[in-house]
Structure 1
Amino acid sequence: MNKKIRVRVQETSRIYIHNDLSNTGYYFQQRIEKRLKEEDREGIGLEMMACLTMMAFALEARINFLGFRLIKDWDEWLPIKRKVKLVSKHLGISADFGKRPYKTVKLLKEFRDTLAHGKPATFTDAREIITTHDELEKRGYLNADWESYVNIEFIRQAAADSDEIWRDLLKLADLNLFETLTQGDRSVQFIEHIEEA
């Protein structure tokens, strides 16, 4: 029979969602690379959409992590570009959204917003052309603008640029990777045995 005891339990949990989002993006990227190598393309565009969405979420979550760690009264609801500028300025650098790697922040944000705020679009065009069936297929009449992002080259670019930004900002913030991982601690202190009545 277990006797009752009184204890003091103290727990701290630090949950950093950017890890889960980054891992999900990485998982999808590895899966896509494998499927492309094996010429298994059925539904791969859907996995690419999921991959890019997770990468966009992860990038913003990483910036939020740094903002919370570095800047008093951090506002995670600010637009991503504004947040990147604030963190960069705090760390003494300037983020140039006109060139890589920071240009990818803008591109991922555009892709994410198009999906998140999805709205119908109608395009009208009427003309006669002379073409072959294959050429007609390549024209992509039913393709949306956002589909231009859904390719392995952009996935690789987004992964590389996001990782470069993350490594550079962590170094400038004097943080090591371990400090960014979900973690916690717990202690149990015995107080007394409880007499059962």
Structure 2
Amino acid sequence: MNKNVKVTAERHVRTYTELWHTSFVLLELGKEDERGRHHKLMGSLVFTAFAFEAYLNHLGPSLFETWSHIERLSPKAKFEVLAERVGLKADFGCRPQQTIIRLFGFRNDIAHGKSITLKDMRIESLEVYQKDPWSFRAQTDWEKYCTIENTERAREDINSVVHTLHKASEIKDEYPFLHGFEIRGGELIIDDNN
């Protein structure tokens, strides 16, 4: 007699929440361990940007029947359209919305990366130079952006923007950044033929 289980699953995935969690995990790993910190922070920032755009794509269909046409816009433009729809003013001149511009500038630099030659110069003491001659490095703006402070600020500001936008949208029985649900089941199958 063979015994098997027929397993079924239905899962509602909130992609923006999964991406948001990835951003958090990478930030925490970057704070805990210096090894590879720059890369962990870069990943966290990229996933923060991904999470924000995925949230806009999550919210959009609730507010627009024609979201599939709007979805092609830039994240900044999507935010402006959604903010206007729910009665909020887009103000990219100050935090937290200012971070949207900086974060997506960073994300675009990464996504559309090009090889470049950088030149930089500074004066430092011979003592400092002898201690660590590799401490000074010419960096792009996107490399300079990968700090713990900027990564924490991006998450804090995007969290604030999402909660403000969500509250103004007046969607009932849904809260930002909660994972979706999953229903699982199992059915024992007994094959008496063997």
Equivalent runs, 1:53-68 vs 2, <5 Å:
53-68=46-61
CA distance in 2, matches of 1:16, 1:85: 22
Cα shift at 1:42? 1.3
The equivalent of 1:94 in structure 2 is 89
- Which amino acid is the alignment partner of residue 156 of structure 1? E
2:48–2:155 CA contact under 8 A, matched in 1:
yes
In structure 1, what is the equivalent of residue 27 of structure 2?
29
Q: Gaps spanning 5+ residues in structure 1: where?
A: 3-10, 187-197
Q: Distance in 1 between matches of 2:61 and 2:169?
A: 12
Counterparts of 1:179 and 1:118, CA distance in 2: 30
* 1:37-56 alignment, distance < 5 Å: 40-56=33-49
What's the offset of the Cα at 1:148? 1.6
Identity %: 30
* In 2, Cα distance between equivalents of 1:128 and 1:94: 43
Q: Segments of 4+ in structure 1 off by > 6 A?
A: 127-130
C-alpha separation between the residues in 1 aligned to 2:122 and 2:42? 34
- Specify the alignment match of 2:108 in structure 1: 113
Question: Tell me, what secondary structure is at the counterpart of 1:95?
Answer: coil
Distance in 2 (CA, whole Å) between partners of 1:129 and 1:183 is 57
Higher CA-based Rg? 1
1:1-197 alignment runs, 5 A limit? 14-33=12-31, 35=32, 40-74=33-67, 75-124=70-119, 131-132=125-126, 134=128, 139-141=136-138, 143-175=139-171, 176-177=174-175, 181-183=179-181
- Alpha-carbon distance between aligned partners in 2 of 1:128 and 1:23, rounded to the nearest angstrom: 39
Q: What's the TM-score, normalizing by structure 1? A: 0.75
Instruction: Name the CA shift for 1:123/1:147 in 2 (closer, same or farther; >3 Å).
Output: closer
Offset of 1:134 from its aligned partner? 2.8
Q: Distance in 2 between matches of 1:80 and 1:144?
A: 23
Q: Distance in 1 between matches of 2:176 and 2:56?
A: 16
State which drifts further: 102-111 or 63-72: 63-72
Change (3 A) 1:113 1:179: closer
Bigger shift: residues 106-115 or 168-177: 168-177
Distance apart, 1:64 and its partner CA = 1.3
What amino acid is the match of 2:128? D
